[in-house]
A and B are shown apart, each in its own frame.
Chain A
């Protein structure tokens, strides 16, 4: 058997790209890392392996704790982690969902070609930057009172539809039609709502961005056609989450768990894995609050997308409908969802935690929206601002290998502090423009340095492994044209 030694831990190769960390004391199940040797080398350089091992200590964890090919060190749970916890006698973990509840990505198509956009890049990037709030304290697209926040939390994109920020078709191309069942605004604290109310429709900062992209390759013509993608086409990718409302909700519940379920917490190797036992009041409350924050994030991305349509209308002087600016799909990266999965031949309800991982349900799965059920759920994997992004479709092995999940991005390689020492924002920006015709505009030069293409893993390799494993199949590749960030 081939093995890989990483800092005192021996991983066994189960099959190509699947590495297993055998069970040892405290681990309820083995842990798995899905990676090529090249990616595993990178993954083993920080605390990812220790963190995925720690995750196996959570009660009710089923089959394996799994690290996706883009995995890296996070807090508690690694980024790129998937953990399916029994919904009856397991638990739900706010720490394993993460701070940015329903941080995610959506892609909007257009019928414009790259030719039509060339020459307009500067105007486009300036106008997007001026009209889409980003950074810290930039406000939001709508200013709302707490009543409005409550409606958004309860109704999601349906609220946006009623208020003219969405069209019917947008809902049909979003998971759960943009409205999570079981959302309970009363379980979201006043503090969280106060933070959220002036951030509705805003990117935030860090790795969040809005990018105009061109399709460079379509690898699968049939699925590409079903997704409405063809070479040279312009698309828009939006990456952001639930802003301060989600961050506050996570910490509110971490603290409640610490106060109410200390027994369980004391048995876990990392306090950040804090979990509420399935069936407890707190588990129900958190699930209601998290679902509400999921709705908030969907509305956030919806408002940004609709505002982008208006920006394109002004720059290209025609209606957004005539440019066919339609939502392709919206995927969540930080989420826990009650789902039915087959485990050892039996159907079980699990809280599937995906933190920095994307749901990737295959063709035919009843939870894939009708529009894509014949080909599989679209999966959108953003790369860095100097590399391509990918559109995948849920692969046929995903249910067996990963509880229907795949990677979520390139995955960071270098710390933010190190990135700032190695790069200067102005240089990065100029090089991207001169060498690759990518126009970047950011609130902060430091953010550009921290997000420089060199700080990320090779997204091509991440996607190759996903495709080879059959958990998410390559459909198309896109490349940046304009990028705005906080």
Chain B
């Protein structure tokens, strides 16, 4: 699983790949953390869990990233080192994700504000090697 920050005139885009759907979700989330902070401290902060449910895979990715930005603001801590444990299809109820991340208190890190995840140009696609995704964040 890996990610790359891509050029975008006003904002920041993350391009990510992963062997599995879980891995690509985690890679995009790590890209979001990298867009917020150049040097993520290694041994600071505890892990916490996140669960998200949505009606489709793309909506699940959107809501997952939206939840991370929301949690950053209300807990005043930057979520980093993402692990997506499971992504399950629930039939008619849509999709559910269980994940965890480490939270670094904002006063211990030189971080910038990513305002929001956007649907603009968003891609989440299965490839021969696994999954790839492209997400633009509003900065």
Contacts and interface: CB of A to CB of B under 8 A. Distances in A.
Contact of A199 (B62, B73, B107, B111): B73
A445 B36 CA distance: 13
Given A271-B119, A272-B119, A446-B38, A255 B10 contact: no
A72 B113 CA distance: 21
Contacts of A206: 112-113, 115, 139
B47 interface: no
Contacts of B76: 137, 198
A258 B60 CA distance: 13
Nearest to A192: B70
B119 A136 contact: no
Interface string B100-139: 0000001100111101111111100000000000001011
Given A251-B66, A412-B9, A136 B115 contact: no
B111 to A, nearest CB: 5
Contacts of A198: 73, 76
B12 A417 contact: yes
Q: Chain A contact residues: over half helix, strand or loop, or mixed?
A: mixed
A79 interface: yes
Interface stretch (A117-125, A214-222, A242-250, A294-302): A242-250
B73 A46 contact: no
Contacts of B110: 443-446
A205 B122 CA distance: 24
A145 to B, nearest CB: 14
Contacts of A412: 9-10
Nearest to B136: A75
B6 A258 contact: no
B5 interface: yes
A247 B6 contact: no
Name the residue in A79, A205, A247 with the highest tally of chain B Cβ atoms < 10 Å from its Cβ: A247
A75 B12 CA distance: 11
A264 B106 CA distance: 40
B136 to A, nearest CB: 6
Nearest to A414: B9
B7 A486 contact: no
B39 to A, nearest CB: 10
A247 B115 CA distance: 6
User: Most chain-A CB neighbours within 10 Å: which of B11, B66, B113, B121?
Assistant: B113
Given A259-B55, A446-B38, A205 B112 contact: yes
B58 to A, nearest CB: 9
Interface of A: 46, 72-76, 79, 95, 98-100, 135-137, 191, 194-195, 198-199, 204-206, 244, 247-248, 250-251, 254-255, 258-259, 270-272, 274, 412-418, 443-447, 486
List 6 A-B pairs, minimum CB-CB distance, nearest first. Answer: A137-B106, A75-B120, A415-B7, A272-B120, A271-B119, A205-B113
